Amino acid sequence: MSKLTMVVHGGAGPDSEFIKKNIETYKQGLREAVDTGYSVLEGGGSALDAVEAAVNYLEDNPLFNAGRGSALNEKAEVEMDASIMDGKTMKSGAVAIVKNVKNPVTLARAIMEKTKHIYIGDMGALEYAQKIGLRLMPEAYFITDHAYEQYIAATEEEENTIQQAGEYQVRRKTHGTVGAVAVDKDGNVAAATSTGGTENKVPGRIGDSSVIGIGSYANNKTCAISSTGDGEVLIRNVTCFHVSALMQYKGLNVKEACNYLIKEELKDAQGDMGIIAVDPAGNFAFEFNSERMHRGWRSSDGEQGVEIYRP
C-alpha cells in the first residue's frame, strides 16, 4: 500500500493586515481542509475523492478566495473557475466564469465524468449544473464582507475602466486560489484547484485555475500539482505541466522539480507563483516566490503541519 498523502493550499501572494489579523483562523481552515481530504484517503477512498472533498471544504470557508468568499470583479459580481484531474486515467474536467454554483470543483468533476467535454464555461456551465442537480446559491451567499471591502477600496483608488483593469491587477497583486493534491492507497494521484479569480478583474476574465496543465495536472507517471499566484504568469509558463515534464524528461524528483521551476527556470519571472505537488510514492513538495503561501499537509507516516510564511 502506498503512503497516503494529502496537501492543500489556500493561495500565494502578498501579505496583508487581514491575513495577519486572522492567521490562526486561516491555519485552522487549512488543518480542517487537510483532515477532510485525509479522512477520505484513510477510509480507502480515491485520491480524486480526497482532493474534491478538501477543495469543497475550502470553497465553503468564507476566508478563502473560492466559492463562498470569492473575489468580486469590477462589476461587483462573482465569477468562479475550477479544475480537477485524475492521474490514473488522465481524465480532467474544468469550468470557467461560472456563477451561483456552490462548489465549482464538483461541477468540474461532473463535466469530466458525465460529458464528452473537458471545459465548459459561463451560462453553459450553470445550465449543466442545474441539469444534474448541483446545489446553487444566490449571489449574496458568495459575497463576504471582506471581499466587498476589497472591492470598495479598489473602486475608490481609481476609476477602473476595462482598459485599466489589467494594469491595476498587476499593481495591486491581490489574488488567492485553493487547491489540493493527494495520493491514495493504490498509488494514484489527483489534483484539484478552485478560485474566485483576481479582485476587480474584467468580467469574463479566465485565470490559470481552470486550465488543465496550469491550474491542475495529475499523471501517475510523475505527480499531481496545483498552482496559485498571478494567473497570467502561471499561464505563460504552463506551470503544473512544467513540473511533471521536469520529472519525466529530466529525471528530477518532485521536490527538485518544484524547486528548479520556481528558483531557477522562472527566477526572473515577474509575478507571484506557488505550487504544491505529490508523487505516487507519497513524497510531496511546495515552493513559492511570494511573501506567503497558505499550505497544509498530512501523510500516513505521521508528517503533518500548516504554514503561511516561510519557516
Residues in the chain: 311
Q: 264 φ, ψ to 5°?
A: -115, -70
- Joined together, the cell numbers standing for residue 75 give 462589476
Q: Is 177 a catalytic residue?
A: yes
Cα first-last separation, the chain: 31
Catalytic hit among 5, 36, 174, 177? 177
Cell 480526497 belongs to residue: 50
How far from 226 is each of 44, 76, 135, CA to CA, in Å? 23, 27, 25
Q: Compute CA 67 distance to the chain's CA centroid, rounded to the nearest angstrom.
A: 11
Q: Are strands 273-278 and 284-288 parallel, antiparallel or unpaired?
A: antiparallel
CB within 8 A of 154, min separation 6: which ones?
A: 74, 160, 168, 172, 199, 200
Note whether 231 and 201 are within 8 A (CB): no
Identify the CA nearest to 171 among candidates 147, 148, 210, 198.
198
3-state SS, one letter per residue, for 67-134: CCCCCCCCCCCCCEEEEEEECCCCCEEEEEEECCECCHHHHHHHHHHHCCCCEEEHHHHHHHHHHHCC
Note whether 284 and 6 are within 8 A (CB): no
Strand partners, 286: 276
Strand partners, 225: 217, 277
Active site residues: 177
